[in-house]
Amino acid sequence: MSELSTIATIKCKQQVVRAVRFNVDGTYCLTCGADKKIKLWNPHRELLLKTYGGHANEVLDAAGSCDSSHIVSCSSDKSVILWDVTTGQPIRRYRGHASSVTCVKFNEESSLAVSGSVDNTVAFWDIVSRRQEPVQVLKDAKDTITSIQITDHEIMTCSVDCHVRLYDIRVGKMTSDYIGHIVTFGNFTHDGQCYVLSCNDGTVKLFDKDSGEMLNTFIGHECKDYMLENVVNETDSHIMSGSATGEVLVWDLISSKSTNKFVHTKNKPVISLSHHPTESYLLTACDDEIKLWGNKSAND
Amino acid sequence: MSNSDSDDENPILYGTPLDPIEEDEVPSKRKYQQPPDQYAVDNHGRRRFHGAFTGGFSAGYGNTVGTPEGWTPSTFKSSKSNKASISAQRPEDYMDEEDRGEFGIAPRHLQTRNDFTGQKRKHHRYHDGPIPGEPVLEQLLKTVHETAAVRMLRAMGWRPGQGTGERVTRDEKKKRKTQQRVYGCYMPPEMRQNDEIESDTNSSDSEFEYDTLFAPDDYEPYILQRKSDRFGLGYSGLSRHSVLGSLSGQYGEGASKSHLVMNDKGRKVSIRGQAFGVGAFEADDEDIYATEDMSHYDFAIGGAADKPKKPANKEKGANVLEGFAKASKPLPPVPSYPPPALPRDYRPVEAGTRRSRFEPSAAPQRDQGLGRHELTAEARGALLGEEPVPKLPEPPQIVQNVPEDPIAKITGRNVNFITTNDIKETKELDFIPLKCGNEIPKTFRPFMSVPDKQARYERYLNDKEAFLREQDGNMDAVREWERDRELVEFEQAAKLYKPLTGFMGDRFTHASEPDDGATNPLCAVAKSNNSYGLATPEQVEAARRGVYGVMTRKETPWRPESLVCKRFNIPDPNVRTETKSEEKPKVSYSIFSYMESSVHDKDSFAKEQQKFSGSKSLNLPKPTHNTLPQNKTSISDERSKVDNPTPSTSGDNTNFMKRMTVAELFMKESEKDLKSNENVNDTIEKFDKMDLYKAIFLSDSENEDEGTPTSTVNTNLKEPDDFIDKPKNLERNTSPPRGIFANIDFDELNSWRRNILTDKCEKDDSKKDSKSNKEVKDTEANVEADVYGPKIPENLQKRLEGESGQDGDFRPIFRRKSDIAKDVVEINTSSSDSWVDIKEVTAKKQKKKKKKHKSKHKKGKHKKKDK
């Protein structure tokens, strides 16, 4: 893997950036701020494109739709808001959750939004119709939902109750894996065969999706009760995770050796990361700042 | 404006008619305004404002220039030829006359010039020197500004600190001073005299300055006194003098301060200090209240009152700085308002600390209301002095005796409001006890009205097996079917009356760790990685060892909503596994779902009913009856015959559920013909015809759905022994009464009706044996289902039975409606039935069925009791 270096540093002026997310094609990114706003950027040109205000509390997560025409965001004001990208107006506001909503994702066609909350539920929101109630609510988890991932037919939820649950719509069954540690973030590899789970025992674990066996453990970073996220790079060759020490660690997926380490800001936790879907770009968020990392030579 | 409509002569219309007011419209109170009235126009009638909320100026060429060209730049003119006429252009040159008018943009009006106004207006002059903007020097140096009046005064010789006017001698100056002091009311004459005397003495000291002239004193501003009362400005109310006499001790001895003062002795008496003084343009009135009084007379020669005053003045001077005089009255103290008293339970909180409302308050909650709700009904009753209702024989767990408060006893009300005992009790019941299934029923007594049953129920709860064994031994005491029935009831009650444990218990778990967060929000939540209830110990162990896989994995069926599948573009897995989804019914938390699962479905009911019918062992000679067309061909009949020990009963039952075909009807008819010896009523024939008619015309649709109950009710109705063969209502709710009916014994309530009916039963049996009178039987059977009127007294009933045994013709009048009326009714109903659609028919029938069932049920019960 080639060396990543800082391409751009953007001061978001959002107090703290809770999450940074690339859009579907990696051209833009969204930052969710503690200032109750979402900002849409072009990180490559360091351009602020739009600010979306309407949440009543910190925005915890956001996702862009597949056609980049909508944004769905969730906040600790217990609501999920669907935004129109161009006008910046909230189209719909879903208030079904009983507590802070921690994570939100679109499905592949962006016809459904799936949100997980501190109230232990996962709710499906129909974007297409004007329905205000959730289409379905999953109440299997016994503690906060920390992250959600969606493939074309599966929904993976990670929870503080140390379980990862995979809901397979095709088969109509739910597979729950007991991990033994609080799962702060879960991710799929691009081939869809493995989970990459950030656990709060200071490890990132790689699990086989079908058998539920652990394949690898990645250590070296510091967790310190932060809800650290992880990413898999575009070729599934490396895994990256933030750290409480302000570093971003890169591991080789197969050998589980730490191949690289770059510092975002010393001693400030790097919690949220987002990887470009097709190219070698990485976005990291730390404090009030996001950084775009990339291959300098390729950029030049 | 407009004339009335009733005017027939040529109406003359002036002005524009208003819009007609709609009838249901509330007429607005605003004056009607036409659009043109709402435009502002200038003197020439042109519109003044254009666009931009009509506050803007003309767009394009409006009023200003009035030419299509609009503002054309002035062409260059050489000033060579007419230098004299060059003048600076001012904005006003480009304004219309209206603009400079009162309402224009640059109104011109009179105003004081800067010189004459007190404050100097800033006048911007822009210096076109090297430094742009306001001249720096002007900013630094400010000219002292004097108004014109000051300048005029100076010109008149005024100096600051001096008065104006001619110079005066010292004496005159002094005099003026004394005069100046007087304002408002005149000084009392005696004081003025004093002053004059004083000045006289002073003047003698300063003789040498006689020639010197002094400038008069400067104007002394009027010094306001602090206002200490709430009267109007300048008002001094009447003091507490008596109107005529003096107030003793108020102003020292000898101060005669009467309100009535004689200015000049004997001439005029004026009143001072009255509420409203004399007006500015009035002279003092002659005192109309003047009365001669001895107080107005001097009793000594000379001004005796003056003498003591002087030493007093001197005395004042001793304590007081020179130039100051001691105030005659001390200043009224400034009223100081004490800060509000703090509430007793107030605890000061440091500023800036925020307190969460979820934080538990250290202080106990204030009692809501009067603590009424803490009292039990008994306690309240005791307080109100009610006679306690004799209690049902019931264990004393619920009722707790309130210790009588002696004070409350005396006063007749609770003084403490909350007795300690009550508090204890509420605390005990405050939480949901988990895992104590046997204790709960003590608080719920579903069978309280029947103590025996309740006791049995409790025994059942304590040990189900033992109870069953015991019951088997007591076969005689409780009949078998009743016992079964009761068991079902107990089962339901056991489910129903432990809602908190049974339903909620499995949804909550005890906290594995003490929850400090409830009391202290700042306390960090302890991490608990492995003590999760939903992970089995094996899973925990496997995860700890890192052996993930089969051990840690758990698969459960999950049912995605169809809409979710649709949005994911995935075929719904539920459709394929339909049976599976039906296996797992949707979970509903209604308590009724628990009840219905046991007896409410038909199967369990039918089973129970069979037991019922088996146990009752009715000895009715039904099979011997002449007309039994019902038992003929139905498959269900066959089956039920096999099943049941009393085939006739069950056959009738099931027959009710099926539709009689045309063939059956014909067979029935033929059978009727065969039994021609029977005296068949006209009505019966009529009904048969109706049935036939109906069967022919309505059969197409009804025959198709086999087993649906149809209009055969009518045919059955007229059967003589119908009341015996009443089909059971399978839909009947046999669950124990719940809700407000929980403790009502319906059996008891219904028992009297049963008696009647069973009596009749027997009577009919006897009749059948004798086969004496068919007519009576028929009619009675028809009437049977609907008996109206009061209950027959038992002795009368018995007597009637005895009579009927001998005299078949006897018909109790109160028991039946008149035959004619009945016929008419029956015909009507059947004829109407024949043309209504199926739904209605079935509905009607169900009603009838219900009725019949009741009567049947009663009969059965009665039989058993007789034994």
Give the pLDDT confidence of B798-824 residue by residue, as tens digits.
666 555 444 444 444 444 444 444 444
Nearest alpha-carbon partner for B395 in B442, B447, B463, B460: B442
Decide if pLDDT at B128 tops 50: yes
Lowest mean pLDDT among A104-108, B136-140, B181-185, B317-321: B181-185
State the Cα torsion A209-A212-A213-A219 to the nearest 10°. Answer: 70
Query: B548: which chain A residues are within 8 Å (Cβ-Cβ)?
Result: 177, 179, 207, 212-214
Kindly state the percentage of chain A with pLDDT values over 90.
Answer: 63
Contact B568 A107 (CB under 8 A): yes
Decide if pLDDT at B578 tops 70: no
- How many other C-beta atoms are found inside a 10 Å radius of the C-beta of residue A217? 14
CA distances from B703 to B661, B663, B699 (A): 7, 12, 5
CA A74 to CA A93: how far, in whole Å?
10
CA B400 to CA B381: how far, in whole Å?
13
Strand ranges (E), A162-257 = 163-168, 173-178, 183-188, 194-199, 203-208, 214-219, 230-232, 238-242, 247-252
Compute the radius of gyration of chain A from its Cα atoms.
Answer: 18
Query: A197: which chain B residues are within 8 Å (Cβ-Cβ)?
Result: none
pLDDT tens-place string over residues B73-118? 666 777 777 666 656 677 777 777 777 777 777 777 777 776 666 5
Higher-confidence position of A122 and B382: A122
Decide if pLDDT at B68 tops 50: yes
pLDDT tens-place string over residues A266-299? 888 999 999 999 989 999 999 889 999 988 765 4
Decide if pLDDT at B329 tops 90: no
CA B325 to CA B313: how far, in whole Å?
9
CA A128 to CA B783: how far, in whole Å?
64
Is A226 at the interface with chain B, CB within 8 A? no
* Alpha carbon B743 to chain centroid, angstroms: 34
- Residue B822 has what pLDDT? 45
The H or E element spanning position B162 is none
Binned at pLDDT 50, 70 and 90, residue A149 comes out as: very high
State the Cα torsion B608-B613-B615-B617 to the nearest 10°. Answer: 180
Place of tokens 């996962």: A122
Nearest alpha-carbon partner for A253 in A242, A263, A241, A243: A241
pLDDT tens-place string over residues B754-767? 555 555 545 555 54
Q: Please say whether the beta carbons of A217 and A205 come within 8 A.
A: yes
Binned at pLDDT 50, 70 and 90, residue B576 comes out as: low
State the Cα torsion B88-B94-B97-B102 to the nearest 10°. Answer: -90
CA A289 to CA A17: how far, in whole Å?
7
**DSSP state at residue B597:** I
Contact A126 B532 (CB under 8 A): no
Across the interface, which of B540, B555, B570 has its CB nearest the CB of A173?
B555
The residues with which A39 forms a beta bridge, in sequence order, are A31, A51
What was the ipTM of the complex prediction?
0.89
List, as ranges, residues 545-584 from B with C-beta within 8 Å of A. 546, 548-550, 552-561, 563-565, 567-570, 573-574, 577
Contact A169 B555 (CB under 8 A): no
Query: B540: which chain A residues are within 8 Å (Cβ-Cβ)?
Result: 178, 180
- How many other C-beta atoms are found inside a 10 Å radius of the C-beta of residue A148? 21
Is B533 at the interface with chain A, CB within 8 A? yes
Give all strands of the β-sheet with A247-252 in edge-to-edge order: A230-232, A238-242, A247-252, A258-263
Query: B527: which chain A residues are within 8 Å (Cβ-Cβ)?
Result: 182, 200
Is A171 at the interface with chain B, CB within 8 A? yes
pLDDT tens-place string over residues B228-274? 777 787 776 665 554 554 444 344 344 444 555 555 555 555 555 44
Written as one string, the DSSP assignment of B36-103 is GGGS-B-TTS-B---STTTTS--SSS-SSS-STT-SPPPPP--SSS--TT-----GGGGS-TGGGSTT
Across the interface, which of A124, A200, A212 has its CB nearest the CB of B553?
A212
Environment class of residue B795 by beta-carbon count within 10 Å: exposed (0-12), middle (13-18) or buried (19+)?
exposed
| Secondary structure percentages of chain B, helix, strand, coil, to 5 | 45, 0, 55
Binned at pLDDT 50, 70 and 90, residue B457 comes out as: confident
* Sign, CA torsion A223/A229/A234/A235: positive
CA B626 to CA B780: how far, in whole Å?
17
- How many other C-beta atoms are found inside a 10 Å radius of the C-beta of residue A198? 30
* Sign, CA torsion B661/B664/B668/B669: positive
Can you read off the two tokens belonging to residue A70? Answer: 């909508």
Can you read off the two tokens belonging to residue B393? Answer: 């024989």
Q: Please say whether the beta carbons of B466 and B413 come within 8 A.
A: no
Place of tokens 């800067």: B114
Contact B552 A175 (CB under 8 A): no
B148 three-state secondary structure = helix
Report the largest interatomic distance among the alpha carbons of chain A, rounded to a whole angstrom. Answer: 50
Q: What average pLDDT does this structure show over A7-30?
A: 91
Contact A107 B567 (CB under 8 A): yes
CA B717 to CA B786: how far, in whole Å?
12
CA B517 to CA B514: how far, in whole Å?
9
**DSSP state at residue B725:** S
Strand ranges (E), B63-115 = none
Is A130 at the interface with chain B, CB within 8 A? no
Binned at pLDDT 50, 70 and 90, residue B508 comes out as: low
Nearest alpha-carbon partner for B214 in B273, B173, B251: B173
Angle of helix B819-835 versus helix B838-866 axis, rounded to 10: 140
Map out the domains of chain A with their CATH numbers.
5-299 (2.130.10.10)
CA B375 to CA B366: how far, in whole Å?
16
Binned at pLDDT 50, 70 and 90, residue A71 comes out as: very high
Q: Please say whether the beta carbons of B400 and B377 come within 8 A.
A: no
- How many other C-beta atoms are found inside a 10 Å radius of the C-beta of residue B822? 16
Q: Taking CB atoms and an 8 Å cut-off, how many pairs form between chains A and B? A: 115
CA B332 to CA B842: how far, in whole Å?
99
Across the interface, which of A111, A172, A177 has its CB nearest the CB of B567?
A111
Across the interface, which of B529, B556, B574 has its CB nearest the CB of A181?
B529
Mean pLDDT of chain B: 59
- Residue A40 has what pLDDT? 94
Residues 6+ away with beta carbon under 8 Å from B392? B448, B449, B451
Query: B578: which chain A residues are within 8 Å (Cβ-Cβ)?
Result: none
- Residue A154 has what pLDDT? 92
- How many other C-beta atoms are found inside a 10 Å radius of the C-beta of residue A281? 25
Contact A169 B570 (CB under 8 A): yes
